[in-house]
Amino acid sequence: MSAEISVLQKARAAYQPKLPKALRSNNVRVELGVPTEPAADKEQIKQRFPKTCGQPVATIIEGNGELNGNPLNVGVVLSGGQAPGGHNVIAGLFDALKAANPGNRLFGFLKGPGGIIKGKYKELTPEIIDRYRNTGGFDMIMSGRDKIEKPEELAACKQNFDSMNLHGLVIIGGDDSNTNAAILAEYLCKEECRTVVIGVPKTIDGDMKNEQIEASFGFDTACKTYSELIGNICRDSMSAVKYWHFVRLMGRAASHVTLECGLQTHPNVCLVSEEIQAKGTTLAEVVDYITDVVLKRAAAGKNYGVVIVPEGLPEFISDIKRMIDELSTILGKDEQYIRDLPDHSERVQYLNNRLTAASAKVYGSLPQDIQEVLLHRDSHGNVPLSQVETERLLIDLVSDKIRLLKSRGQTEAKFSSLSHFFGYEGRCAMPSNFDADYCYSLGYAATQLVRAGLTGYTVNVRNLTRPADEWVAGGTPVTMMLNMEVRKGKPVPVIKKALVDLEGKPFQHFSTNRERWALNDDFVFPGPVQYFGPSQIADVPTVTLKLEKG
């Protein structure tokens, strides 16, 4: 880490994150509710998690507790994509551990879950923690996307925990990593290992949420960062009056990021994958819709505009989704063989013989770079969609269509386009006050769950649209959020992803206004994230959260 820090970094280092009232007290206890059930596929989940399935919801409240006050060794790991606030989770964990007993120790496993398997870790000291308070990024201990699933990997983890005399492990990750936390917790219970496992809901994608978990951390800062940039682009577009900007936004599956940025900035077109899926829309129909807006604006003398597109779109367009599912099944069986084929044309030929005719046609119609990306899966079976340039594909198809209409004399629209992808730019931004406070509270609460000896839980902090003082912290049994899904052709337990609810208030608000936003220049310019100043500017949560919570 560089020795020189920016003026803002210096000021942020002094920021004291706000904690809910109950967590500020040194006397807390964990109250347990009634037994819970998995979200779906109950019998299969119960069979796979006989020790941890059905545990009750936990709430942390003020009061004389029976929480463990003996010296504890706790490990922490950052898993998956970066999200603003990760360092504050660790700072919260650390401060709560030291407040409970100055002899408590915190160890950071390095480079993600792979560090747990390999036993690579470092002790986190006050000097290290202080250097990273309220900073973005995951560089304190780095992250990785390894999955702990094979029997030998689980056994290696246990061996490392035993030799470190570890009482608890906190896994900071998204839906896949919290699923991993449940698998590890179940395994450790079966093996009668003392280490408890607690997950923390992280992902800028915002799709790890449910009745208990109101938001994943990082979503707030990432959306505010992208919205600042989109607002700037909207202003540039109405100043230059000659470009259509196509902006793809991160979010591997759900469109929460795009919808939130749409609500913050009012672009002319905002695609929501979940709606496209619900209507069974094809790629050609998506192109028709965008073209229609371009032509209507051109007719009003506006040959410019802004289109925002969710990264996850390809998996929600009916014909592409079917093709990707078929590809996943084929890759589940023959991935290595396909990879070893000498060139791409042979891979296409091999796939042509195995895909249905309709899917082979869709696959064949895509540019080669997209075809190649679609043949990869990460360790959790996901397509690396951040590498699929959907915004360029849409630009090409819209300009083809406009060219055709022009050749028939049906339009005189001018269509000059520019493409952007906002993803990595937002993942390591300095956390907003909301994320700084929320993450610190999540870390603080995770310590209390470890002290209570709970395992297989995801920590939660609720009531997030109220001032931090009124937030309520607790834990949700991971099995309560699980369902079975097919990954790489096999059914596996995973946390049910929260997609955009088309009946929910955020989408409804967008849907009521989108036509007006399409034709007029109703752009909103949110400007940069504010860290200081009046609370209604510096502490405001996302539009999504405000609309969802009324």
Cβ-based nearer residue to ligand FBP, 291 or 390? 390
Cβ-based nearer residue to ligand FBP, 205 or 548? 205
Nearest to 148 by CA among 115, 179, 189, 113: 113
Cβ-based nearer residue to ligand FBP, 20 or 426? 426
Under the criterion CB under 6 A, does residue 54 sit at the interface with ligand FBP?
Answer: no
Residue 61 carries which side chain, given as an amino acid letter? I
The footprint of ligand FBP on residues 80-99 (CB under 6 A) is 80-81, 83
Q: Tell whether the torsion through CA atoms of 44, 45, 48 and 53 is positive or negative.
A: negative
The footprint of ligand FBP on residues 376-435 (CB under 6 A) is 385-386, 427
Of the candidate spans 22-30, 39-47, 197-205, 319-327, the one that interacts with ligand FBP by CB under 6 A turns out to be: 197-205
Give the residue carrying structure tokens 């060139």: 343
The footprint of ligand FBP on residues 216-255 (CB under 6 A) is 250-252
Beta-bridge partners for 134: none
The footprint of ligand FBP on residues 275-314 (CB under 6 A) is 311
Q: What is the DSSP letter of 131?
A: H
> In which element (H, E) is residue 365 found?
helix 357-365
Cβ-based nearer residue to ligand FBP, 38 or 144? 144
The footprint of ligand FBP on residues 127-156 (CB under 6 A) is 145
- Is 205 assigned a catalytic role? yes
CB of 249 vs ligand FBP, minimal distance in Å: 9
CB of 443 vs ligand FBP, minimal distance in Å: 17
Of the candidate spans 67-75, 202-210, 226-234, 476-484, the one that interacts with ligand FBP by CB under 6 A turns out to be: 202-210
Evaluate whether 130 touches 98 at the Cβ level (below 8 Å). Answer: no
Among 95, 205, 228, 548, binds ligand FBP (CB under 6 A): 205
Nearest to 29 by CA among 451, 458, 456: 451
Among 154, 204, 472, 545, binds ligand FBP (CB under 6 A): 204
CB of 286 vs ligand FBP, minimal distance in Å: 20
The footprint of ligand FBP on residues 438-497 (CB under 6 A) is none
Q: How far apart are CA 547 and CA 334, in angstroms?
A: 46
The footprint of ligand FBP on residues 159-188 (CB under 6 A) is 174
Q: Tell whether the torsion through CA atoms of 134, 136, 140 and 144 is positive or negative.
A: positive
Distances (CA, A) of 467 to 19, 79, 206, 318, 439: 10, 29, 21, 42, 15
Of the candidate spans 77-85, 95-103, 462-470, 533-541, the one that interacts with ligand FBP by CB under 6 A turns out to be: 77-85
Q: How far apart are CA 157 and CA 124, in angstroms?
A: 20
CB of 81 vs ligand FBP, minimal distance in Å: 3
Among 160, 203, 264, 265, binds ligand FBP (CB under 6 A): 203
Of the candidate spans 75-83, 89-97, 463-471, 491-499, the one that interacts with ligand FBP by CB under 6 A turns out to be: 75-83
DSSP output for 462-524: E-TTS-GGG-EEEEEEGGGGEEEEEETTEEEEEEPP----TTSHHHHHHHHHHHHHHHS----
CB of 426 vs ligand FBP, minimal distance in Å: 9
**How many chain residues touch ligand FBP (CB under 6 A)?**
15
Residue 239 carries which side chain, given as an amino acid letter? S
Other CB atoms within a 10 A radius of the CB of residue 513 amount to: 14
Q: How far apart are CA 272 and CA 287, in angstroms?
A: 14
User: Would you call 374 helix, strand, or coil by DSSP?
Assistant: coil
CB of 171 vs ligand FBP, minimal distance in Å: 12
Active-site entry in 175, 205, 220, 539: 205
Nearest to 316 by CA among 272, 269, 368: 272
Query: Among all residues, which ones are annotated catalytic?
Result: 205
Contact residues: ligand FBP, CB under 6 A: 80-81, 83, 145, 174, 203-205, 250-252, 311, 385-386, 427
